[in-house]
Structure 1
């Protein structure tokens, strides 16, 4: 008698026929989920509720600079520097230096007086003319007179000359030079002026004569030759 072959049970029928297998599978799944959850919780970091105000410190997971490193804010050596996040520029706390005011170059105070300057030196005296004069009266008559200034050149070369007479009043009739070329003359009511027509030679002499009326006197107020007072007054 031949033996009949039993058919192998399928996985679905095995699971349904054994309830404890389902329980074991559920327990394994829960254990795996629990392990995964614990691992994710450990990977997280907790942060304090009151952190630093620096934006660089509030970034999670970023390394910070060492507290003993060189200061980036210009502080004293050895002082603890603020944490700096990579890639972010630190905020400087150093105020810019104030410009030094330039030295004043204003004018001196009003109460400071400059040193008085030295008085100017007087001009050198004019050279004395070599031609001199002597005043005299040649003739007098009713209402007028004829006078003269005798000119003498005591120098060693010829010189020109100028005669000036001043009267309080009067009228000039005429004037001339005896024995020499005539020169220009004039009278403005008080001052009579006669200039030489030619230079007077060295050692020579010549009289300048003039006719005046209504002067009231034969003596002039002043008589000069080249600025030098005439003799004979």
Structure 2
């Protein structure tokens, strides 16, 4: 068979033979990499024409808020060498937790410094008394303390009487229409304690006869259960 005829008969199978040869060469190459333990490194990816290269974004770190002083705690003073900076001065306080400085608290020294007058003490609950002179004569007089109980329950009572310096002695004392009281004497101070409680809404008169060397008849002090007597003016 002529050579030209043979080439014409093999021409249609030529591409197939080239493809088979390329496939066999590729298999041999891969097998060689497997035996050596390495593999081909793929080329780096290229950006598409006309586009900038891809750069991965770095995540932003969240900002940490600055610490703030808790409510109700002293505010920090500037460290400038002053007494406030070293803790000598009175600390400042914010609400809640506000407190009154020592200098503004009501004390006897503070009242004298500011000229303010503290409120009078509240009278104690219980019976009260009214003082009067029942009879007056040369060398003596008879006085009375009317003990009244405005409460709703019966109450014990104590009368404290400090007689003026002109009184020279106690002659006698008694409770009108009620059991007698007990008496204690301490210098010019006389203290009577009730024999029985005075009834609710009721009253009992305590009377006393004293000698005197002068004209004073008003006691220096008169109180019932610690409450000042009326009628001394």
* TM-score computed with the length of structure 1 as normaliser: 0.46
* TM-score computed with the length of structure 2 as normaliser: 0.46
Structure holding more helix per residue: 2
Bigger Cα Rg = 1
- The structure, 1 or 2, with the larger RCO (C-alpha pairs under 8 Å, 6+ apart) is 2
